[in-house]
Amino acid sequence: QVQLVQSGGGVAQAGGSLRLSCAASGGTFSGYAMGWFRQAPGKEREFVAGISGTGVNTYYSDSVKGRFSISRDNAKNTVYLQMNSLKPEDTAVYLCARDRRPFRTVFATSSADFGSWGQGTQVTVSS
């Protein structure tokens, strides 16, 4: 069973940047797409960004496209989320997750398609 441990996050001012990391251990990493989700108080968990197992393909929600960047280092079993031009509405708990299925050909954006989750990291953006 893969374990995902997150680091990074914290507090930033609007327009600032933060970087999240998610390190995997105990399971296969490179063959699986990875995703970042977020959940604000009183709201449903929403997809933020995803990256294919090789790292060649990335995909983003419209709300973060052009501001956030997802990447991965398969040698370090780690996925990253670089968040730039932060907005107060980006405030949420951010979670990384591993796709349930390896080598998926159609990108997954539903939380139900992800089977292993990090512990969550609070990101707070002040105006």
Summarised one tens digit per residue, pLDDT across range 86-121 is 999 999 999 999 999 998 878 899 999 999 999 999
Looking at the chain, the whole-number percentage of residues with pLDDT higher than 90 is 93
Q: Hey, what's the torsion of the CAs at 21, 25, 28, 30, to 10 degrees?
A: 30
Q: What is the pLDDT of residue 27?
A: 84
Determine what percent of the chain falls in helix, strand and coil, rounding each to the nearest 5: 5, 50, 45
Give tens-digit pLDDT for 37-76.
999 999 999 999 999 999 999 999 999 999 999 999 999 9
Looking at the chain, the whole-number percentage of residues with pLDDT higher than 70 is 100
Q: Is the pLDDT of residue 78 over 90?
A: yes
